[in-house]
Each structure stands twice: as structure tokens, then as C-alpha cells.
Amino acid sequence: MHVLITGGAGFIGSHLAEYHLARGDQVCVVDNLSTGALSNIEPFLGDPSFRFVEADILHWSDLGKTAAWADRIYHMAAVVGVKKVLEDPVAVMATNMTGTEKILRAVHGGGWNPQVVIASTSEVYGFNPKGSFAETDDIVLPSAGRLRWTYAVTKLADEFLAFSYARKYGLNIVIVRLFNTIGPNQVGHYGMVAPTFVRQAVHGEPLTIYGDGAQTRSFCDVRDTVVALDRLAACPRAWGEVVNVGNDQEISIRGLAELSIQRANSSSSLQFLSYKEAYGEEFEDVTHRRPVLDKLRALTGFAPKWKLTDTLDDLVEQERAKMLHAVRDSREWPRLLTSSSARTRY
Ligand SMILES: NC(=O)c1ccc[n+]([C@@H]2O[C@H](COP(=O)([O-])OP(=O)(O)OC[C@H]3O[C@@H](n4cnc5c(N)ncnc54)[C@H](O)[C@@H]3O)[C@@H](O)[C@H]2O)c1
């Protein structure tokens, strides 16, 4: 199978690439490396079944050709992360909406009908107070002018774009509302909580909790997520549908911080920051966000395999390995070898 992954050097995209290469598929990744990293796809660069194109989906001249080559497209490229969204809402609107429309137009123009997965987000449920969300639940967003919701609005627009193309042209598109996804290759720079907590715990720094930490989330291991996305893409009953993807086990953010400290065997403390201190402005956080997964189960039989403790253990191990590499890389050459007295010994 030919697989095109936009945003394939990012967190979820790079796992999709690894998953499909392991199955013997040919994979093409396009990414502008804005939040993604070459290191995420470095292990595949020598593989003849893998191709990487460094390009912006807004300007990529080969998009039409590559969309026509693909049997399956995962559209993961987006501007993500709360910090990025607050810093540059204009870029969020352009990439997330124009980018998605370009992909859909290319798919329609390709004359071929590949399976397409469009990444949306649990953020689209907005501040609906329910806490547990099924796909039929109402979307509750503020009337206007609150930049914090820019990301959700762009993803909701993507959903409607995808529905329109699926309905009008009969395209095989499934829209996935991803809930919090965690695992290797995720970075904390853009406000992602799990990698930040694990890094702080491993380094013995205080874990910074925004708000009082009573807000809850459900975390799904990315290695479960890619299985769900693969099954949905291949499921004709899912085409033209929106489906929640995640893990329905809930934990408070404070609970996640404490668990990270415990798994890292760390003596870090907890530090509480107001949203204003964290983001430089008032921020409306969502109190509870848990997916109802009945639709995903009914369509694919999917059940997550990874437990949160196992994912955290994995992240702790990787953070320790990174720390060790950093120490090795920064170590000076032993004086004995570089000093003139050492050289004269030969
Ligand atoms: N990780 C989560 O918990 C989560 C939750 C909900 C939704 N999502 C969605 O899943 C998708 C993947 O997210 P992720 O967590 O892997 O984030 P990520 O930032 O690691 O991946 C996004 C990738 O898109 C690339 N990109 C951004 N703009 C681009 C452009 N104009 N052209 C080409 N490439 C571009 C980035 O460089 C990055 O590699 C996104 O669409 C995101 O909205 C993720």
C-alpha cells in the first residue's frame, strides 16, 4: 500500500510511518519541521520504502501528484499546542484550514479515491460541561474573540470541510477526534503535559501544574492510537463519519504529576501556577475530557492495550537515556589526551 502522511515527522505522524513501514508499505512523509523533528524519522531515512519531503503543505508543488499516488492519506499536519496557538493564531488558521482544504482538493482532483484520515481533536467539544463526550454531543464554543479557542474552531472547520467533500464527491474520508495522546517522540515545548511532567520528574525539578490540578484527562498511548487510525481508515462504515479516538481511563492532572514522580522514583515537588502565570493571559481550561468510545468499538472492535503506567515507564526510560547522551556529548575530552604533555608521550 502507498501511504502519504502529512505532518509525518511529528509525534503521531512518525509513529504512523513506523507502523506502515513495519507492514511492508511504501510511505511518503511531508513535513515543514515546524514542530516535528528530523530525529523522529531518522531511523527510516535509509529505507527504500520511505521518502521524506521537507515542504509546507500550503505550498508543496507535488501535492496533487503524491495524493494521486496514495492509497491512504493521514492528514496530521497542523499547528498544535496551546502555547503556539496563543502566540500565532494567524498561522493556526492558515495551516489548519487552508492546509486541509488543499489536501481535500488534491484528493478529489487525483481521480483516485484513497482512504483519508483527517485529524480533528477533542477540543472541538469546547466547554460543554458534560465531561464524557460522544460524537453526537453538542459543541459548545464561545461566541467570538477568545483566541484560546482558535485551534478548536479551525479543527471544527476541517471537520465540516471533510464532511462536505465526502458528501459531495463520495470520498472515503474518516474524521478522527483525537483525545490526549502520549508516548515516545512527543515534546513538551508546546504545552504538552505528559512529556513535561516526565522530564521534570527525571531531572528532579518541581512539576508545574496549571490551575489546581483537579481537571481530568484521559491519555491514550500513541501505539494504540495508530492501530485505531489504521482500522478506521480501512473500515467503509467509518467513511463519512466522525469518530472519537482515545482511552477512556481518566486521571486528574495532579494525579498524573504524582504518578510521574512515582514512576521516575523522583523526589520532585509539585508547583501550582495560575493559567495567567503559565500563559501570560487568562485561559479557560476544560475541567473534564473523557471520550465515549462506543462508536470506535462498534466500527473496529478496538480496545487500547497500553496502560498509563507502562507508557510513563517508557517515557521515563527514554528521558534518562536522553540525559545520559547529553552528559556524554557535553563531556570534554580527557585532559590527558589533548594536553601537550599527553601528546609528547607518543
Ligand atoms: N497529540 C495529541 O494529543 C493530539 C490531540 C488531538 C489532536 N491531535 C492532532 O493530531 C495531529 C498530529 O498532532 P501531533 O501531536 O503529532 O503534533 P506534532 O506537532 O508533533 O505534529 C504535527 C506535524 O505537522 C507539521 N506541520 C505543521 N504545519 C505544517 C505545514 N504547514 N506543512 C507541513 N507540515 C506541517 C509539524 O512540523 C509537525 O511535524 C494534529 O493535526 C493535531 O491537531 C493531536
Average pLDDT, integer, range 295-309: 97
Pairing of strands 2-6, 72-75: parallel
CA distances from 116 to 16, 23, 36, 224 (A): 13, 18, 21, 19
Domain assignment present for residue 8? The answer is yes
Residue 148 sits in which domain range? 2-185+219-248+289-306
Taking only the tens place, the pLDDT of each residue in 312-325 is 999 999 999 988 87
| CA–centroid distance, residue 295 to ligand 1 (Å) | 24
Atom of ligand 1 nearest to the CA of 33: 37
Report which of 123, 216, 224 is spatially closest to residue 181, judged by C-alpha positions.
Answer: 224
Instruction: Using the Cα atoms of residue 278, residue 279, residue 283 and residue 288 in order, give the sign of their dihedral.
Output: negative
pLDDT at 286: 80
Domain assignment present for residue 137? The answer is yes
Question: Any idea what the CATH number is for the domain that residue 11 is in?
Answer: 3.40.50.720
Taking only the tens place, the pLDDT of each residue in 4-57 is 999 999 999 999 999 999 999 999 999 999 999 999 999 999 999 999 999 999
Which residue's alpha carbon is at the smallest distance from atom 26 of ligand 1? Answer: 77
The total domain count for the chain is 1
Confidence of residue 242 (pLDDT cuts 50, 70, 90): very high
* Residue at grid coordinates 580527557: 334
Domain assignment present for residue 283? The answer is no
> With 80 as the cut, is the pLDDT of residue 74 above it?
yes
**Which of 12, 116, 242 for mutating ligand 1's site (highest number of atoms within 8 Å of CB)?**
12
Average pLDDT, integer, range 207-232: 96
Domain assignment present for residue 6? The answer is yes
Domain assignment present for residue 331? The answer is no
Is the Cβ–Cβ distance between 268 and 315 less than 8 Å?
no
Domain assignment present for residue 69? The answer is yes
Domain assignment present for residue 294? The answer is yes
Which of the residue ranges 166-175, 253-262, 318-327 would you say has the lowest mean pLDDT? 318-327
Across the chain, mean pLDDT equals 91
Separation between Cα atoms, residue 306 and residue 7, nearest integer Å: 24
Report which of 196, 217, 192 is spatially closest to residue 271, judged by C-alpha positions.
Answer: 196
What are the catalytic residues?
151
Domain assignment present for residue 116? The answer is yes
Q: Output the CA angle 60-65-68, nearest 5 degrees.
A: 125
